[in-house]
Each structure stands twice: as structure tokens, then as C-alpha cells.
Amino acid sequence: MKYYCFFALFVGLFISACTQRTNTSEDNRLDFSPIKGIKYYEVKRQFSNGLSFNAMGFQQEPSWIMEFISNDSVAIWSPQAKRMEPFLLLYDHGNVYNFANDYFRIKIANKDSLVLQRLEVKSKEVMQGEVSDVHILFYSKNYLENKVKNSVENLRKPSKKDTLFIRNLALKSNKNPKNLKNIFAARNPVQFISKNAYAKVEKLSNVNKLNKHTNAYDYLYPEYLIHIKKAYKNFNYRFSILVDSQSKMYVNRIEGVMPEDIESRRKLLTGIVDVYLTHYFKIIPGNTLGILHPSEVTLNLVGEE
């Protein structure tokens, strides 16, 4: 019921956007002076279907605090710097602006709320589909305290619809954990906890601004370096495994091998996984919203005699 109340409120805000948004100038630029200095707290980040998750398991998480400083600048809370960071507010066309290294369509901007649509833009063209279907809802502090009467923390929590969606995805993937088509990323990835002094694990990060690999890349494609000492021989393999909800591991993608050699390499890697990973580590399956499900992780497995 709470979800539908929120959805009704969201729709109501959207319908009234034409009368509630800030004034526009002659060139259609929005005038933000009436809402200058108001801090807005992000409470929902969802796709147009009302879900915070997509089929890949990626979660849109609300986290921003935003404030218009002027008609050409905004400030956004930085968790890393623990302060509001300024950004230029660059007008593009219509109600589309660029700030914080992204494009947004400003749908509603009044003293109570903001509604933004994040847009994926390539070659000055707005991409269609899910990449431009992220809708972000903010409430002002005054509106939260006097009208909504709920905390930002509670409003940011995943909905019952999100939980049902993830439960259905997990049910499907658990039926056939070796079928990559049904596998989705775990919000809390697989954990490898060493039980042996000769085994160490390190979670790697592939965040790279030049390659446009954001934190989302690490979320969707978790990767680990596992180092085994006193191995039967020296080896260095890169491959992925599927880890099911019972901690069972299946060798999946194999790199650096000719097609005709894949199956023999798979048998070799399966043997190494069964001997070292199964006995040297406690394997905790990935989960999303507390629901265990199969997920894929990439391993860089190094053995040293």
C-alpha cells in the first residue's frame, strides 16, 4: 500500500509539472531563482516501471542531496569529500541540462520537490531505452517534515515491488544455476573467506574514468585475485565461475585458450577449484535484498609452488 501511495504521489507531481515548475525565459531556460538555496534530498531513483532494479540485478540507489546555487550552478553532496560540491549547470535544449558529468531532463522543480530524468547522450543524441529511463525524485526538507512526515532513510528503502521482482529472478536462476541467461548480479557479491594460511584473496576494482567504468562496473562484474602458496605447480589463470545459492561453483567463461582447448582447460580449472577454493575458503553466495541466488564472478587465480 505504501508503494502505491508513493506512486500516486509521484504521478500527481508529474501531472502538475506544467503549473508547478519554475518559470522559463524567452529561450526556454528554466529560472531557478525561486528555489535557490533549498536543499533537496533524493528519496527515489527508479525506472518508469516503478522498479529500482533491472533484469541484470543493477540497483538504482538514491543518495543525492542537491541545491541550486544560481541559474548556472548547482551543489551536490559528495560522500567522499563529505561536503556539497559545486557543478556548472549547462543548458542544452528544452528542459535538458548537463551537470555532474551527466545529462538530465528537469521535469519538476518547485519548492517542495524535484523530478529529474537521467539521460544517456551519445553524439548529441539521447539514447532510447533503459539507459535514459531513470527517474529521480527529490523532496525538500520542509516538505519531508511537514507533508510527507517520513525520514529520508525510510523513503530510500527498496519497495515491496522490488523485493517481489528480485525473488522471482532468484527463483528462476536457482532452478538452473548453470544457465548464464538466468544469472543476475548480486547486490552483495560472493565472498571468499580464507581458512588457510597459504590462501589469500583480494577484491579488485576496475573503476576507470577513461574507459567509462564507474562503480557500477564493479557491482555488475565483481572480480577477485586469489593467491595460493604451496600449490602443486606454478599457474596463473583468468576465468569466471558461477556460484549458486548453496556455494557450489561452476567454471564458466575461460580466457586465453583456443576454442578447441576450452573443454580440456575447463576440466583442469574445475579440478583446481574443487581442490583449492572448496577446501581453502569459506564461500558465501551472493545475495540481493537478503535473497540468495547464483551469480558470476571473475577470478584471477595464481598458484605458487
Closest among 100, 98, 58 to 78, alpha carbons compared = 100
pTM of the model: 0.85
Residue 40 CB neighbour total at 10 angstroms: 26
Distance CA 132, CA 121 (A): 8
Distance CA 59, CA 220 (A): 10
pLDDT at position 129 over 60: yes
- The set of cell numbers assigned to 216 is 557500477
Q: Would you give the DSSP letter of residue 261?
A: G
Q: Would you give the DSSP letter of residue 151?
A: -
Closest among 93, 62, 112 to 103, alpha carbons compared = 93
Question: What is the per-residue burial (b if ≥16 Cβ within 10 Å, else e) of 256-289?
Answer: eeeeeeeeebbeebeebbeebbeebbebebbbbb
pLDDT score of 66: 96
Condensed to tens digits (0 to 9), the pLDDT of residues 16-51 reads: 443 344 555 556 789 999 999 999 999 999 999 999
Closest among 299, 270, 273 to 189, alpha carbons compared = 299
pLDDT score of 165: 98
Contacts of 269 (CB under 8 A, 6+ apart): 237, 239, 251, 254, 301
pLDDT at position 2 over 80: no
Distance CA 198, CA 87 (A): 48
pLDDT score of 4: 41
Condensed to tens digits (0 to 9), the pLDDT of residues 160-183 reads: 999 999 999 999 999 999 999 999
Amino acid at the residue 63: S
Residue 298 CB neighbour total at 10 angstroms: 18
Condensed to tens digits (0 to 9), the pLDDT of residues 58-116 reads: 999 999 999 999 999 999 998 878 899 999 999 998 899 999 989 999 999 999 999 99
CA angle 34, 36, 38 (to 5 degrees): 110
Higher pLDDT, 2 or 245: 245
Distance CA 226, CA 178 (A): 22
Cell 532468484 belongs to which residue?
170
Using 50, 70 and 90 to split pLDDT, how confident is the model at 130? confident
- The set of cell numbers assigned to 254 is 575461460
Residues 114-137 have a mean pLDDT of: 88
pLDDT at position 12 over 70: no
pLDDT score of 240: 97
Give, to the nearest 10 degrees, the angle between helix 2-15 and helix 160-175.
Answer: 120
pLDDT score of 235: 96
Distance CA 250, CA 278 (A): 11
Residues 287-300 have a mean pLDDT of: 98
Higher pLDDT, 6 or 279: 279
Q: Class of 2-157 per CATH? A: mainly beta
For the chain, the average pLDDT equals 90
Query: Could you tell me the residue ranges of all domains in the chain?
Result: 2-157, 174-304
